Structure 1
Amino acid sequence: MSTTTISSMNKYLLWVRSAGRCQYIGCNKELHTDILTKKRFNQSYIAHIVADQPDGPRGDKIRSPLLANDIDNLMLLCDSHHRLIDKIEVSAHSEPILLEMKREHEERIRNVTSIHPDKKSFIVSYNANIGDNTPNVTYPYISNFLLPDYFPSQDSSIDLGVVNSLNKDSDPDFWEIEIKNLKRKFDRYLLPRIKSGEINHISLFGFAPIPLLIRLGVLMNDILTVDVRQKRRVPDTWVFDQDIETEYIYGGKLRSANLIALKIELSGDITDDRIKKVLGEDVSIYSIRIDNPNNDFVKSRKQIKDFGNKVKHVLNDLKKKHGQDVVLHLFPAMPVALAVELGRVWMPKADMTLKIYDQNSNLGGFIEALSLKHE
């Protein structure tokens, strides 16, 4: 049992550094308000990492007296975790383990409290069935990835998708139903708040077939500030790295063809025969690609912005070559964030009509999904 009188200064500092919450990893319990009655009183315990007595938990003859009133040796804990580390499972809670818990907790508090007040962001999620998979991007999970760049404006996300929908992307009416659902939810839950000025920044998290994400990008357009997030596999995160550059390569051969197609080969290669299977032999085929297409290359916001700029250039070039009234057939293999960005930079009054296709193995290859019409 502690016999040291901890200074008032260190008590105050510990409360500030812990934000009045239990510092045991995964607990985070508020120690100033009873969870049931909501009565406010001090429920905290100040624990020593290295005991203030040599015979105490993690005690040491030399270091115990030296660290007895050291703020870096103190943890704010709830009753349960105070008992756990000092009485029940002392051997499982070594000094390095407790120091890491303290460090992680205090660093998290610093990150949260250092964010500028105008860095609020509304989390918008969008899910739609991809084959037999039903993604579910939930608020408790994705909200963790806003920090330290932004913090949530509210304690829930604005969900534009339909979780556990029975519609499959191989169903004949899948695209029509999903497009209507997306537009209805956007118009009801998001658009009025954007028009009123309540929402001026969105953090977008999505998992859906690429044509639907492009359509979502069109709804968002490039006027509103939208931070489109990309799920990465290695490491498993939605957090961006610092600016990384990617060279997007545009090419193709102009032919005297009535049809033009654009392949977006970023997640994988698309051979010309797959395009000709859909459109026939008489087609001019262009491509935006990277050297080694893969589905996990987007790691920074700069890569998304650079892709948007490349798409603008390509659309302008194709309009010059083929005219504004020609339909551009789009065959995408691309990451989520870039699909949304494509929709955001496409301008209905300036750019040609897009007819967007989706790869569906159950239906034998690329099938027409939706159109974005030139006005």
Structure 2
Amino acid sequence: MKTETLSEVATRDTEVQRKDVPDSTRIRVWAKAAGRCVLCATYLLDEADSFWHAIPVGQIAHIVGAGSGKNAPRGESDLDANERSFEENLLLLCYRCHKRIDDKVYRDKYTVEFLTQRKQLHERRVREVTDFAILRPTSVVTVSADIRGTAAPVSLSQVAEALRPEGYTGMGDDTRNGAFTLHLPGNSNDGWAWDAHRTELDRLTARVAEAVTAGDIETISVFALAPIPSLVYLGSKLDDKTETRLFRRKRVDDVTAWAWDDETQTPKFDVALISSPTLANEATVIVELTSPVKESRLPSGLTSLPRVIISPTGQVPHPELITTRAALDEFGRAWREALARIENDLPDVRTLHLIASVPAPAAIAMGRYRMRTAQPTMVVYQLTDEGYEAAMEVTE
């Protein structure tokens, strides 16, 4: 029997033999490279999946060689066979680049250090440039109240369906940066309700403002159905520097109840100013969107004041006037124009008496677009059986 020398045993035992790469590891390497060659960025997932020699376009290559034989490129290493098949030692290459890095002519150029750096750089860039969420997270604010004795809840499934086509997704339960939920107490016929609404809305918006200041909130989505004075006040308390999207409740009960309609012809709005024969520090603003405002229902003290009227151009106000986001944006433009005209043409006015027949998001928009401290105080009126009555003031 032949006796093996010590040197022969050592040589045989220390040679690293190639091990197969698990399929799960191959998938991760392909995914982290986004299907592109780490070196030349060739896209490896198109229709052509092989060259004329039937060699796959994309190949898993080793940084430290798979084996340690004398012909193994970059084979000298302390890594054992298992470690050489780990994800960290593998990179995705096209056929040409794989052939080149293993060619004896170029082995001194494509070192372990060089390939490791290129793999890390490529994978980092993939993570950075693919950071495009299809649905952006948004903090949901829901406000509801009993309207004419009937509860007007906001369904979370309806909220989710409204956010999806807008490119948003809610952030979760009622938390610091997730959802902010409020049901206003009482109803508009209760004398104490308006003060209670103000108090509760102050608390809600203070929580939202705290999260905004801390950087926990990037966008706000508002779903609110409540009396118009409360909605105008809510809008006045929302930060106008934070991206805020308003939603409208349609007269349906299915899952799309809060989703905006597809774009249609966008209505236009007229802004008319009727001056008073005498100077006044008060003015009446009438906004007619969902229905005309009847003169007979106005408080007698408002009829003699200068008046600004916002109404749809060329059509009668009706409940389906604001059904798209574009229509709401166009109304917002008209409202800002009205405030600017008051500031320019009625500079002595310090108080605006707001009579509005509008959908919920338009009421919130009126509060948001009023410039705090720079524009007149607004007294917002609520329609009752006896006519319009002053309900809430917006002073800040």
- TM score, norm. by length of structure 1: 0.63
Contact 2:205 2:238 in 1 (8 A): no
Q: 1:197 aligns with which of 215, 227, 244?
A: 215
Displacement of 1:152 in angstroms is: 2.4
Amino acid at match of 1:337: P
Q: Which amino acid aligns with 1:262?
A: V
**310, 335, 343: which is aligned to 1:288?**
310
* 2:394 equivalent in structure 1: 372
Aligned length in residues: 258
Q: 234, 247, 258: which one pairs with 1:238?
A: 258
- Equivalent runs, 1:143-162 vs 2, <5 Å: 143-156=160-173, 158-162=179-183
How many angstroms does 1:278 deviate by? 4.0
**1:265-310 deviation per Cα after TM superposition (whole angstroms, max 9, x unaligned):** 00100122322x3425422232101122112221221211221121
User: CA deviation digits over 1:232-291, x for unaligned, max 9?
Assistant: 22696322223642111111321124342111000100122322x342542223210112
Task: Please point out which of 280, 283, 304 is paired with 1:260.
Answer: 283
Q: From 130, 133, 137, give the equivalent of 2:150.
A: 133
Using the aligned pairs only, state the percent identity.
20
Cα offset for 1:357? 0.5
1:33-182 mapped onto 2 (5 Å cutoff) = 116-117=133-134, 119-156=136-173, 158-162=179-183, 165=185, 167-182=186-201
Runs of 4+ in 1 over 4 A off after TM superposition: none
> How far apart are the structure 2 equivalents of 1:147 and 1:253?
43
Offset, 1:332: 0.5
Structure of larger gyration radius? 2
**What is the rounded CA distance, in whole Å, between the counterparts of 2:182 and 2:353 in structure 1?**
26
- Aligned-partner Cα distance in 1 for 2:266–2:366: 18
Tell whether the 8 Å contact from 1:202 to 1:227 is kept in structure 2 after alignment: yes
Name which of 194, 205, 209 aligns with 1:186.
Answer: 205
Looking at structure 2, the residues matched to 327 and 222 of structure 1 have their Cα atoms a distance apart, in angstroms, of 22
- Which residue does the alignment assign to 1:85? none
Q: 1:118 to 1:196 in 2, by over 3 A?
A: farther
Distance in 2 of aligned mates of 1:325 and 1:283: 10
Alignment-mate amino acid for residue 294 of structure 1: H
In 1: Cα distance, 2:258 partner to 2:302 partner: 40
Match of 2:243 among 197, 220, 225: 225
User: Could you tell me the TM-score, scaled by structure 2's length?
Assistant: 0.60
Alpha carbon RMSD of aligned pairs, Å? 2.6
Verify the 8 A CA contact 1:123 1:152 in the aligned structure 2: no
- Letter of the aligned partner of 1:185 in structure 2? L
Equivalence for 1:64: none
In structure 1, stretches of 5+ residues that fail to align are 1-113
- 2:5 is aligned to none
Once residues 368 and 281 of structure 1 are traced to their aligned partners in structure 2, the CA distance between those partners, rounded to angstroms, is 14
CA shift in 2, pair 1:115/1:303, >3 Å: farther
Name the CA distance, whole Å, in 1 between partners of 2:270 and 2:219.
31
Q: Secondary structure at the match of 1:147?
A: helix
